[in-house]
Amino acid sequence: MSYRSLKAFVVFFLSIFILFSCKETGKHRISIIETTDIHGVILPYDFIEKRDLDASLAGAATIIKALRQEKDALFLLDDGDNLQGQPEVYYYNFIDTVSPHFLSEVMNWLEYDASTVGNHDIEAGHSVYDRLVKEYNFPLLAANAVSIETGKPYFKPYTIIKKNNIRVAVFGLITPAVPTWLPQELYSGMKFMDMVETAKLWMPEILRENTDLVVGLFHSGWDGNNEDYRQMGQMSENGSAAVAYFVPGFDIIFTGHDHRQANEKFINIEGDTVLILNGGSRSANIARADITFYSEKTGGKREKIISGSIMDVSDFEPDQDFLERFKSQDNTINNYVNKVMGVSTTSVSSRNSYFGPSAFVDMVHSIQLEITGADVSFAAPLSFDVKIAEGPITVGDMFKLYRFENMLYTMSMKGYEIQKYLEFSYSEWFSTMKNPDDYLLRLRLGKDGKPLLTQGKVWLKNQPYNFDSAAGIDYIVDISKPEGKRVNIKSFSDGRPFEKNKTYNVAVNSYRGNGGGGHFKEGAGINTKELRSRLVSSTDRDLRYYIMKSIELKKTIDPAPLNNWKIVPEEWVKEAARREYVLLFGLKE
């Protein structure tokens, strides 16, 4: 028996022993399980990297099955962001739209009781999430996603779940920052309201339901250690702490969206304790609340003891019944991702993207310019460390190249706004080098000024998907100069002069075009309201779809850097890049 199998065996039988040794008359012992931000990690296989996974929803199924046998009742919840990530969901979102969706079949088979909708679920579009609302055997929640036409929640605001004489209210909220990232057509007919105001509106009605437990299920991040939530303005992306503090009534709040784990007790404005749990992401962990109810009642409610834990799914083998039930979908998705679309004459890696022009990002640039006919393209490496090998290019490779289901926008910008946009991007990307020994990239540094090791690795301070470079123009980035004065645009790459007061068309993904990353607002100085008026056109399908179609049409591609921009001083950059490549990735392959 493997160590992993032995550990799972011990955990399972220890929980059985505790259960039966503590069993007393007049008590009800229940568990509430939260999965969150699954991002398509359903089967124990990465269909993009083509490797086995230690953790998946199939492993969580083993835990769920065991708890159902142990407890008087199990309540199974999900916190959203499941419809983007792995080809497992993409295929049933957009390719096979006739068969029952893989996710609905899985979640119905596991007998989920409720789920909150996430921003990446909205990203799939009305045709997908409206279809799933009909297919699910449980409600999809989001009290603050409100129908413009009726003024009522588009999804259910809350649900009452009854099991073994225990009544649990589950109230759902989604991050209200959805319009910051997504084009309006994906959530047409909806507006997103502030989380605190919405919770205050619904809590009196929920309390009148006289349930044994009130649970929050929020697709919004948690940071209770940062007390900014007490002065937090409206429409905060991660407003879970503000709701927990300002809206009494919750016994437990499950959070998500930020992919962090949480298991802590939190004191609200009235001095009551709330259990906060967050299961992380991609089925690696699940959040578990254990509640013991006593038959005696105080003030009409049962007395209860609540505790929380985070369970490591990799400690449990995938459930064999689960794997057998979904063998057909496994085969279907495998065939899809292994479909060959064309051939690449060379290997490309995202690793080079951080140190100058790269074939990895410039492939996206070239296709964006080709599709839109725009003057300028903005794009960033959307995956930190991936490689597309020389030879046949498969559908799975395209999920490496382009991770998200963004649409492609054409937007109008003045020349000086393009300049400010790039200044903002490179200020997020590069440090200011005063001598050859300084750091080129913005790395996470400790108090001693040296790179901070996290889990044995050096990390970038900012997200690489915000490191936008440009194509269509030739320019120089001087990292010896202060932020805001680094970018010198020479001309268009076809020789045309670049004029600061002239209006140009720019190709950019919909996340960025809706304000994501701050490049347009904080960088170019274009406010959110005006940003809508700058949209010239949008594709009706996601950009990955068009990239795949382009490769299928060409059959053979020869990815190469466009070399339309460079970083200076070149000697400084060359040495710094060599050092920092090793810090980020180890010795060069």
pLDDT mean over 472-480? 98
**Residue 417 scores a pLDDT above 60:** yes
3-class DSSP state for residue 278? strand
Helices (H), 112-192: 119-122, 126-135, 178-181
Q: Domain of 135: which CATH number?
A: 3.60.21.10
| CA-closest candidate to residue 282, choices 505, 477, 454, 45 | 45
Domain range for 546? 339-585
What is the percent of the chain where pLDDT is above 90? 84
* Half-sphere exposure (Cβ direction) of 540: Cα atoms closer than 13 Å: 1
- pLDDT on residue 446: 87
- pLDDT on residue 233: 60
Beta partners for 460? 443
Asked if residue 230 and residue 167 are part of one domain, the reply reads yes
pLDDT mean over 251-268? 96
Asked if residue 256 and residue 372 are part of one domain, the reply reads no
**Residue 300 scores a pLDDT above 70:** no
Q: Tell me how crowded residue 270 is: count the other CB atoms within 10 A of its CB.
A: 9
Domain count, the chain: 2
Asked if residue 569 and residue 483 are part of one domain, the reply reads yes
- Give the separation between CA 18 and CA 21, rounded to whole angstroms: 5
Answer yes or no: are the C-beta atoms of 54 and 328 closer than 8 Å. Answer: no
Answer yes or no: are the C-beta atoms of 564 and 441 closer than 8 Å. Answer: no
- Give the separation between CA 223 and CA 403, rounded to whole angstroms: 26
- pLDDT on residue 18: 40
- pLDDT on residue 10: 44
Buried b (16+ CB within 10 A) or exposed e, 144-176: bbbeeeeeebbbbbbbebeeeebebbbbbbbbb
Asked if residue 343 and residue 330 are part of one domain, the reply reads no
- pTM recorded for the entire structure: 0.86
Lowest-pLDDT range, 13-22, 465-474, 483-492? 13-22
User: Beta 190-192 vs 145-147: how paired, if at all?
Assistant: antiparallel
**Residue 470 scores a pLDDT above 60:** yes
- pLDDT on residue 2: 52
Q: Which amino acid does the sequence have at 452?
A: L
Asked if residue 320 and residue 360 are part of one domain, the reply reads no
Give residue-wise pLDDT tens across range 39-93.
999 999 999 989 999 999 999 999 999 999 999 999 999 999 999 999 999 999 9
Does an H or E element contain 528, and which? helix 528-533
Asked if residue 22 and residue 86 are part of one domain, the reply reads yes
Among candidate residues 313, 334, 355, the one where a domain is terminated = 334
**Residue 7 scores a pLDDT above 60:** no
Asked if residue 469 and residue 575 are part of one domain, the reply reads yes
Distances (CA, A) of 213 to 142, 161, 234, 250, 266: 19, 10, 27, 8, 16
- The rounded Cα 182 to chain-centroid distance in angstroms is 13
Distances (CA, A) of 268 to 168, 243, 249, 346, 517: 20, 9, 9, 57, 32
Owner of token pair 């919909």: 510
- pLDDT on residue 295: 74
Answer yes or no: are the C-beta atoms of 449 and 431 closer than 8 Å. Answer: no
Which residues have CB under 8 Å from 503's CB, separation 6+?
Answer: 412, 413, 414
- Give the separation between CA 470 and CA 149, rounded to whole angstroms: 41
Among candidate residues 334, 364, 389, the one where a domain is terminated = 334
| CA-closest candidate to residue 387, choices 215, 588, 89 | 588
- Give the separation between CA 424 and CA 273, rounded to whole angstroms: 42
Q: Domain of 385: which CATH number?
A: 3.90.780.10
- pLDDT on residue 301: 66
Asked if residue 346 and residue 318 are part of one domain, the reply reads no
- Give the separation between CA 466 and CA 133, rounded to whole angstroms: 33
Asked if residue 326 and residue 372 are part of one domain, the reply reads no
Answer yes or no: are the C-beta atoms of 446 and 452 closer than 8 Å. Answer: yes
- pLDDT on residue 521: 95
Asked if residue 370 and residue 246 are part of one domain, the reply reads no
**Residue 578 scores a pLDDT above 60:** yes
